[in-house]
Amino acid sequence: MSRPDPRGSRLSGSGLTLAYDQRVVAEDLDVVIPDESFTVIIGPNACGKSTLLRALARMLKPKKGAVHLDGSVITSLPSKEVARRLGLLPQSSIVPDGITVTDLVARGRYPHQRLMRQWSRADEAAVAEAMRATDVAGLGDRIVDELSGGQRQRVWLAMALAQETPILLLDEPTTFLDISHQIEVLDLCADLHEAGRTMVAVLHDLNQACRYATHLVVMRHGRIVAEGEPSAVVTPELVEHVFELRCEIIPDPQTGTPLIVPEARRRVSADA
């Protein structure tokens, strides 16, 4: 696979080797996030999806290579400067005891606070808009720990939105949610993308990835094996190679995007 061209992209990584201590998780990764795309990173468990996202978000320093944000090596930028350009919804978040929805969402304005500039009308407006966009405005006085899983996920997303960053990274935003809340969160992400944000998400569900993504990054064994639009990338051969799953691919009856139908197991005849 040819190396992607980073020109014209605000967020990219080149020659990335990613490791936790001495345990290498991914090697020689080149990735370009198309501007204003909804990019989804997919692959089997333990293939390096979340590790790559953490590196793109500056949560993990590459052992080799570099992540670039707006033409600069991301580790060379001040933390608050990165946080004004790039927001992150991590896989698991710890909720401070007793905090209300409004107070948690307001924490998203921290990157915009300076010594001589504290809370402002602009901050208040950003929090209100983030809560409106995620449909949690009516929950402002509720304690976050008392909310359902889907409500809490929308609140965390509102906090990320309150940062007002042009790029938003989400690590498995549908984990632990039932199917209804999964679709609710992904529909919201699609709305944010259509409003002009660059979205990058790690997902486990390949059919959901195909339905919502405008750009897929497919990983296997710590390497990127395919990139591009779902309709151009997802084939029965790719699915079998990456996920070890034989399947048929048909058009999604709702969206026309690729729909993976696993091969059925063969029934044992009662007469056998």
Q: How far apart are alpha carbons 203 and 222 in whole angstroms? A: 16
In the chain, the percentage of residues whose pLDDT exceeds 70 is 93
pTM of the model as a whole: 0.88
Cα–Cα distance, 56 to 54 (Å, whole number): 5
The CA distance from 12 to 45, in Å, is 23
Instruction: Give every strand in the sheet of 23-33, ordered side by side.
Output: 23-33, 11-20, 64-69, 72-73
CB-based contact 65:16 (threshold 8 Å): yes
Phi, psi torsion values for 202, nearest 5 degrees = -95, 125
- pLDDT of residue 258 exceeding 80, the answer is yes
Band (194; pLDDT cuts 50, 70, 90) = very high
> 68 forms bridges with which residues in the sheet?
12, 73
- 22 pLDDT band (50/70/90 cuts)? confident
What local confidence, expressed as pLDDT, does residue 230 receive?
A: 97
Q: What DSSP string runs through 119-137?
A: S-HHHHHHHHHHHHHTT-G
31 Cβ neighbours under 8 A, 6+ residues apart: 4, 12, 13, 16, 52, 56, 217, 224, 227
- Pairwise CA distance, residues 243 & 199, whole Å: 24
Q: Please tell me the predicted confidence (pLDDT) of residue 89.
A: 87
Mean pLDDT of 95-124: 84
Q: Are 52 and 220 in contact (CB under 8 A)?
A: no
pLDDT over 60 (residue 2): no
pLDDT tens-place string over residues 129-151: 999 988 899 999 999 999 988 88
CB burial of residue 13 (10 Å; 0-12, 13-18, 19+): buried
For residue 217, give the H/E element and its range.
strand 215-220
Return the DSSP state at 70: T
Written as six digits, the tokens of 218 are 């497919």
Q: What domains sit in the chain, N to C, each tagged with a CATH number?
A: 11-262 (3.40.50.300)
Q: How many CB atoms lie within 10 A of CB 14?
A: 18
DSSP 116: T
Segment among 14-28, 58-72, 256-270 with least mean pLDDT: 256-270
Q: Which two tokens stand for residue 260?
A: 């993976």
Structure tokens at 71: 């033409």
Residue 272 in this model has a pLDDT that exceeds 60 = no
